Amino acid sequence: VQLQASGGGLVQAGGSLRISCAASGRTFSNSNMAWFRQAPGNEREFVASIGRTGKSTYYADSVKGRFTISRDNAKNTVYLQMNSLKPEDTAVYYCAADRGEGVYYAYKAYEYDYWGQGTQVTVSS
């Protein structure tokens, strides 16, 4: 499966941004999806995940209440709506998909099999 992330950019603190990840190459609705992020010098960290139907979601504590993950299986796309952005949210954001055998609350990078190329999100103070 191929994943293509887009929508990153520069935003001021307190602002909002929505990033997207388009999938192709396999049945998108069979996969749990997730967003991870990686800031310079840091390890890749879990942000949010969503189950196959979109009804179940799971968030890192650092983004809970500010970020919303969603998916549109008809468009083979997963979204991350980011509100009340903080400078510490600055990172490259990666989307990830599993082969469909995992759980929606998987938060370790090794639990996902396919990765997009990443999109840069920069939050200025």
Paired tokens of 13? 């603190």
Alpha carbons within 13 angstroms on the beta-carbon side of residue 71 total 29
- Determine the Cα–Cα distance for residues 87 and 62; give it in Å rounded to an integer: 13
Of 20, 32, 45, 4, the residue nearest 106 (C-alpha)? 32
- The predicted-structure confidence for 62-117, as pLDDT tens digits, reads as follows 999 999 999 999 999 999 999 999 999 999 999 999 998 899 999 999 999 999 99
